Amino acid sequence: MIVRTTEEITGTDRQRDTENWTSKRIILADDGVGFSFHETTIHPGTETPLHYPDYIEAVWIVEGHGRLIDRDHGATHRLEPGTMYLLDKHDRHTIVADSRIRALCVFVPAVPPGSP
């Protein structure tokens, strides 16, 4: 059994901070469960282009508002609490944060420790 709190992760090597977002990586590949689980905060007023060619990612928005732009097909989707999106084709996307967005994310396969 693994039990962790976000407070335990804050300031450790399981936390990644960039100009646009902070990710607390609660479960990673070294936990041996085949997926990783992150709490990610996107900072307000940012536009963040992303692309994960090696992962499938499911994202559940729990706080905040913004937009998800599908850069391959030109579609724009509203992000708000209760929205889930799945990047199942290694989709190139951009997140536009109108306010602080907090999301819970699952990656398959699991992200290894120390990944950007």
Q: Which amino acid is at 5?
A: T
Is 98 within a domain?
yes
Q: Residue 55 belongs to what domain range? A: 18-108
Q: What is the pLDDT along the chain (116 residues), one digit of tens a residue?
A: 999 999 999 999 999 999 999 999 999 999 999 999 999 999 999 999 999 999 999 999 999 999 999 999 999 999 999 999 999 988 999 999 999 999 999 999 999 998 88
Rounded to two decimals, the pTM is 0.93
pLDDT on residue 31:
98
Angstrom CA distances, 20 to 26, 48, 84, 96, 100, stand at 19, 7, 20, 10, 10
Q: Which CATH number belongs to the domain containing residue 36 in this structure?
A: 2.60.120.10
DSSP state of 77: E
40 falls within a domain? yes
> How much is the pLDDT for 41?
98
Whole-number pLDDT of residue 116 = 82
For residue 29, being part of any structural domain is answered with: yes
